[in-house]
Amino acid sequence: MNIQTKKDFEELMFKILNPLRDKYSDGCAFLELGSTSAWYPMDVAKMEAFARPLWGLVPFWNGSGQNKEFEDIYRNGIISGTTPGGKEYWGECTDFDQRFVEMASLSYGLIFAPDKLWNPLTIKQKQNFAKWLYQINNLKVPKSNWLFFRVLVNVALKNCGMTYCREKLLSDLAKIEEFYLGNGWYSDGLSNGQKDYYIAFAIHFYSLIYAKVMNKEDSKRSEIFKKRACEFSKEFIYWFADSGEAVPYGRSLTYRFAQVAFWSMCLVADVLPFDVSVIKGIIVRNLDYWLSDDSIFDNGNILTIGYKYNQQIMSERYNAPGSPYWCMKAFAFMALPEKHEFWSCEPLPLPELKQISVQKEAELMIGRYQGAVTLYPAGTVNTFPDVMKHKYLKFTYSTRFGFSVPRSGWQFDSAAPDGTLAFEIEGRIFTRMRNRSFKILEDRVMIEWSPGFGIEVMTEIIPTQTGHIRKHKIGSPVDCIAYDSGFAVDARDGVITELGEKFASVRSRESYCLVSSEYGTCQVRDVAPNTNLISPKTVIPTIRYEVKTGVNEVVTEIKEISSDK
């Protein structure tokens, strides 16, 4: 896919958005894209679908782009959605309301595209819009990245000359400050404290909007936000493979190329930790990875829920049909002026990066293998539902292999326990449920953890030149089976397997994985289809260990680079 000029990016953006045009409601306030549901009401899901394309349209308009059809849709939709008593009124909000999330993109529009979304409104329509947004100041908001939704609403209302809540604005910024960990990293709140893509495409993204808009009025805080984004970028760049993929890890992976939204907003806020050509390279290669084929769209060219293909099994409870359009945040760079060098410079490769990066505040280590990325998380402890745990608590997450989510907890094939040590007890598969403690040293990650049932494990993960070694000390009150598994290898076009007394390997057209051990039984296992995020059909090489009551020590080596490559 050749994307270089401003026109190229514009055409790409509307290739994504144009299929939506005939799916808006009569009053344009709702957008219906599918029949699946999320935890919030169906009308709210349709309102979410309406709002999220604004993440791309607003910077397009801010950068002097013109598209009358979408301008009319969004102006009319806002009028319909915020008129009390109207047929398509978006309604009164409640505490922790999903509509708060969508207020962020609407506020983005008021801040950066008032000529399209605010100035054409009548006085009464402006009052309705402002009153509807102001609801967020009277209700409870989760103490996480959601606080920035209220920050953006109040900045937008202030800029439009409407009543805003200065007290809430300042208190929310103060609370966000408590999330800061150092070295550019935040935790997403204090209770759960995840360190994942929400730090990049939420907290830093919004803080840079604030820094750009409030630079004169709040220059000290704005400069702090810019400085932290610069520091964060020096570690976040390690999350990207040479060929453009970002490592799949954590929540909300169905937002796909929102992975590069941080880099786009850096350009807009004039935060340049790397040369513009390098940042352009990161963005272009990532968009190419996602959009060079149609695998992430349905047959009507609507974005699906999933990662590299339509895959409901990996979704979260807040993924409705319109949710994936959060990815339009990646197009923030459309706000750049016509003469900005981004539009004419050649995309450059990543700078030279270390093979191993220890990211202390994020509680993880990252290895680079032939340009691909493997992430080794250590300290993530979360209280999310079970489907979330598989997005944080495996030993490895890879740009080359992705990772798998289970269809059920019964049997190896349905559990698809790649990248982890899994225990089989009475036919059920149990993986890491909680951490006891962890250490990240310069050359290894050490984790004390438990899958439950009184089993306690001490694991050392040691990156090597070709992959990594896992050393496990297992204390078990019962006899059971353990599987120490490598990566899930793409089997769509067939695989070549080799089984030896001490190793099992799988080779596909694009990838290779070998597991080996002095003890245990070497296997290559088929797993249920559509469990892996990247490939709908995979096999997993694994070592099957007989765990006895008492203390057991095993060592498994995982190779992701073949010696004959």
Flag whether 565 is in a domain.
no
pLDDT at residue number 382: 60
- For residue 84, the number of C-alpha atoms closer than 13 Å in the C-beta half-sphere is 10
Evaluate if residue 436 carries a pLDDT over 70: yes
Label residue 435 by pLDDT band (50, 70, 90): confident
Query: Could you tell me if 156 and 87 lie in one domain?
Result: yes
What Rg value do the Cα atoms of the chain yield, rounded? Answer: 24
Residue 13 lies in a domain: yes
pLDDT attached to residue 246:
98
Q: Is the pTM of this model over 0.95?
A: yes
Q: What is the pLDDT of residue 51?
A: 98
pLDDT in tens, 12-60: 999 999 999 999 999 999 999 999 999 999 999 999 999 999 999 999 9
Which of 308, 343, 378 delimits the end of a domain?
343
In this predicted model, what pLDDT tens digit does every residue of 144-173 receive, in sequence order? 999 999 999 999 999 999 999 999 999 999
Same domain, 145 and 293: yes
Question: Percentage of the chain with pLDDT > 90?
Answer: 93
For residue 44, being part of any structural domain is answered with yes
Residue that is last in its domain, among 343, 378, 393: 343
Q: What is the mean pLDDT of residues 388-412?
A: 93
Residues 335 and 369 in one domain: no
**CATH classification of the domain holding 374:** 2.70.98.70
Kindly report, residue by residue over 270-284, the tens digit of the pLDDT. Answer: 999 999 999 999 999
Q: Is the pLDDT of residue 380 over 90?
A: no
Residue 385's pLDDT is 57
Give dist(CA 268, CA 330) in Å, integer.
12
| 209 within domain boundaries | yes
pLDDT at 565 over 60: no
Q: Three-state DSSP class for 502?
A: coil
- Domain holding 392, by residue range, is 361-559
Which two structure tokens, joined as six digits, stand for 128? 């309705």
pLDDT tens-digit series, residues 415-426:
999 999 999 999
Same domain, 146 and 196: yes
pLDDT range class, residue 504, cuts 50, 70, 90: very high
- pLDDT band (50, 70, 90) for residue 381: low
Last residue of a domain, one of 343, 374, 402: 343
Q: Would you say residue 438 lies in a domain? A: yes
Question: Cα–Cα distance between 229 and 280 in angstroms, integer?
Answer: 17
321 and 367 belong to one structural domain: no
Residue 37 to residue 34: CA distance in whole angstroms: 9
Does 55 or 561 have the greater pLDDT score?
Answer: 55
**Within a domain: 1:** no
Shared-domain flag, residues 281 and 379 = no
pLDDT at res. 203: 98
Identify the helix (H) or strand (E) that includes residue 525.
Answer: strand 521-526
pLDDT tens figures, 221-245: 999 999 999 999 999 999 999 999 9
Q: How far is CA 403 from CA 57, 393, 482, 512, in A?
A: 32, 11, 19, 15
Q: What is the DSSP string of 204-255?
A: IHHHHHHHHHSTTTTHHHHHHHHHHHHHHHHHHGGGB-TTSPBPP-SS-GGG
**Structural domains in the chain (count):** 2
On the question of pLDDT at 192 being above 70, the answer is no
Assess whether 325 and 381 both reside in one domain. no
Q: What is the mean pLDDT of the chain?
A: 95
Q: Both 241 and 327 in a single domain?
A: yes
Is residue 126's pLDDT more than 60?
A: yes
Confidence at residue 563, expressed as pLDDT on a 0 to 100 scale: 60
Average pLDDT (237-262) is 97
Give the pLDDT confidence score for residue 2 in this predicted structure: 86
CATH number at residue 106: 1.50.10.10
Is the pLDDT at 564 greater than 90? The verdict is no
384 pLDDT higher than 80: no
* pLDDT at residue 414, as a whole number: 95
In angstroms, rounded to a whole number, what is the distance separating the alpha carbons of residues 533 and 308?
6
User: Is there a single domain that holds both residue 453 and residue 319?
Assistant: no
Is the domain of 403 the same as that of 295?
no
Are both 143 and 249 inside the same structural domain? Answer: yes
Is there a single domain that holds both residue 401 and residue 519?
Answer: yes
Confirm whether 416 is domain-assigned: yes
Q: For residues 155 and 185, is the Cβ–Cβ distance under 8 A? A: no
Residue 388 has pLDDT above 90, yes or no: no
Q: Is residue 348 part of a domain?
A: no
Per-residue pLDDT tens digits for 446-502? 999 999 899 999 999 999 999 999 999 999 999 999 999 999 999 999 999 999 999
Q: Which of 248, 526, 514 is nearest to 390 (CA)?
A: 248
Contact 222, 215 (CB under 8 A): yes
Least confident of 120-124, 334-338, 377-381: 377-381
pLDDT given for residue 115 in this prediction: 97
pLDDT, residue 387, reads 62
Alpha carbons 469 and 385: distance in angstroms, whole number: 29
The span from the first CA to the last CA of the chain, in angstroms, equals: 27
